[in-house]
């Protein structure tokens, strides 16, 4: 038993990424190093969160409004800057696009052509922060195409199939990192005593159907008729249970493992939905498609959507194949 425990503790994130990438060629080393930096960012954010109630200037609002029109939390800014810091002197990532920054951040010394871009949501579920409930960080990695000399990052305005890796960190009872490079979806649990993310579930398979539906029913009055019809169907039929945590990463993680469906459809106030395509919906769609589930706008696969701007929002229906198909059958009947 001891030996098995030792083997388990040695399956760290960086070793797993290298194993996954054997036939990936020269990118293998880069991607493994990038994932290591992301893991460092996750550890720094996790540590900050675990002491948030005890330190000044961690919780609460920063007093600014971001490009999304949201009141920014101090933790949003801290986490945003952590991801930038871990990639300085890395020679790996030369451009970072974040929910919290109107324009991408460039690290010029890292910028020979053909390098990587990190797209990320530094703290997802900020409304949970002051209630000590789970939050997350979401990330996707893309190759920079061209020189982006005007700083418009137009090459990022391509569909989600351009992602070469995606994942998230869930700051919950344990801190977990879930990622995929397109060869299965794998979960790692942070062992704080080691300071390492250790493999806890390999090749996660999302059930074809699940009983959970996850949606903010407070928006019912703002939905179109097909979406209301779907919810009425769920209300009338046995076998469904509602779970909504107010933080996408936690709600997604539950469905990734247990099946079911998460929905954030368009509303009258936000016809395009609330969730952002490039650093929320597309990374999670990448994962769900590689764990046997699906991700749709309701009428189109998320991974096929081509954004016109960096912070574009999209409706999101994501989870078990059968449950996403049922929602689409209502939404396409309109």
Q: Give the footprint of ligand AHG on this chain (CB under 6 A).
A: 70, 99, 121, 124-127, 216, 246-248, 274
Residue 77 contacts residue 60 (beta carbons within 8 Å): no
- Residue 249 CB, shortest distance to ligand AHG, in Å, is 7
CA 266, CA 271: separation in Å to the nearest integer? Answer: 4
Among the listed residues 27, 70, 191, 301, the single contact to Mn ion using CB under 5 A: 70
How many residues touch Mn ion under the rule CB under 5 A: the total is: 5
Nearer to Mn ion, 250 or 259 (CB): 250
Residue 266 contacts residue 329 (beta carbons within 8 Å): no
User: From residue 179, how far is each of 176, 233, 235, 256, 285 by CA, in Å?
Assistant: 10, 34, 34, 12, 12
CA 117, CA 141: separation in Å to the nearest integer? Answer: 6
CA neighbours closer than 13 Å in the CB half-sphere of residue 52: 24
Residue 282 contacts residue 162 (beta carbons within 8 Å): no
Site membership for Mn ion, residue 124 (CB under 5 A): yes
- Residue 151 CB, shortest distance to Mn ion, in Å, is 23
Considering only 36-44, 119-127, 160-168, 290-298, which stretch makes contact with Mn ion by CB under 5 A?
Answer: 119-127
Query: Which residue in 228, 315, 230 sits closest to 266, CA to CA?
Result: 315
- Residue 248 CB, shortest distance to Mn ion, in Å, is 6
Among the listed residues 99, 196, 251, 328, the single contact to Mn ion using CB under 5 A: 99
Site membership for Mn ion, residue 121 (CB under 5 A): yes
User: From residue 96, how far is each of 23, 80, 310, 328 by CA, in Å?
Assistant: 27, 10, 12, 34
Report which DSSP code applies to 101.
-
For residue 247, the partner it binds in ligand AHG, Mn ion, none, with Cβ less than 5 to 8 A by kind, is ligand AHG
- Residue 275 CB, shortest distance to ligand AHG, in Å, is 6
Residue 35 contacts residue 140 (beta carbons within 8 Å): no
For residue 246, the partner it binds in Mn ion, ligand AHG, none, with Cβ less than 5 to 8 A by kind, is ligand AHG
Residue 105: strand pairing partners: 96
For residue 107, the partner it binds in Mn ion, ligand AHG, none, with Cβ less than 5 to 8 A by kind, is none
- Residue 127 CB, shortest distance to ligand AHG, in Å, is 6
For residue 323, the partner it binds in ligand AHG, Mn ion, none, with Cβ less than 5 to 8 A by kind, is none
């Amino acid at each position: 038993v001891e030996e098995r425990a030792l083997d388990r503790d040695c399956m760290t994130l960086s070793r797993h990424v290298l194993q996954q990438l054997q036939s990936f060629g020269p990118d293998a080393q880069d991607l493994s190093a990038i994932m290591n930096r992301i893991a460092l960012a996750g550890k720094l954010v996790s540590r900050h969160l675990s002491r948030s109630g005890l330190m000044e200037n961690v919780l609460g609002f920063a007093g600014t409004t971001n490009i999304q029109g949201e009141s920014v939390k101090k933790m949003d800014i801290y986490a945003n800057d952590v991801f930038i810091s871990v990639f300085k002197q890395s020679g790996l990532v030369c451009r970072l696009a974040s929910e919290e920054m109107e324009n991408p951040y460039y690290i010029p010394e890292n910028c020979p052509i053909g390098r990587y871009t990190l797209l990320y949501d530094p703290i997802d579920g900020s409304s949970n922060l002051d209630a000590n409930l789970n939050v997350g960080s979401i990330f996707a990695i893309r190759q920079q195409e061209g020189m982006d000399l005007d700083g418009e990052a137009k090459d990022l305005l391509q569909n989600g199939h351009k992602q070469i890796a995606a994942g998230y960190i869930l700051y919950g009872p344990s801190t977990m990192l879930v990622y995929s490079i397109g060869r299965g979806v794998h979960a790692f649990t942070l062992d704080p005593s080691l300071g390492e993310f250790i493999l806890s579930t390999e090749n996660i398979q999302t059930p074809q159907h699940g009983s959970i539906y996850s949606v903010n029913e407070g928006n019912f009055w703002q939905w179109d008729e097909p979406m209301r019809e779907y919810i009425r169907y769920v209300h009338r039929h046995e076998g469904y249970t509602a779970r909504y945590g107010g933080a996408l990463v936690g709600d997604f993680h539950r469905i990734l493992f247990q099946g079911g469906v998460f929905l954030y459809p368009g509303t009258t106030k936000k016809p395009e939905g609330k969730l952002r395509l490039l650093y929320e919906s597309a990374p999670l769609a990448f994962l769900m498609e590689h764990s046997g589930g699906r991700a749709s706008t309701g009428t189109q696969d998320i991974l096929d959507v081509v954004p016109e701007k960096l912070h574009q929002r999209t409706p999101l229906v994501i989870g078990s194949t059968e449950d996403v198909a049922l929602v689409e059958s209502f939404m396409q009947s309109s």
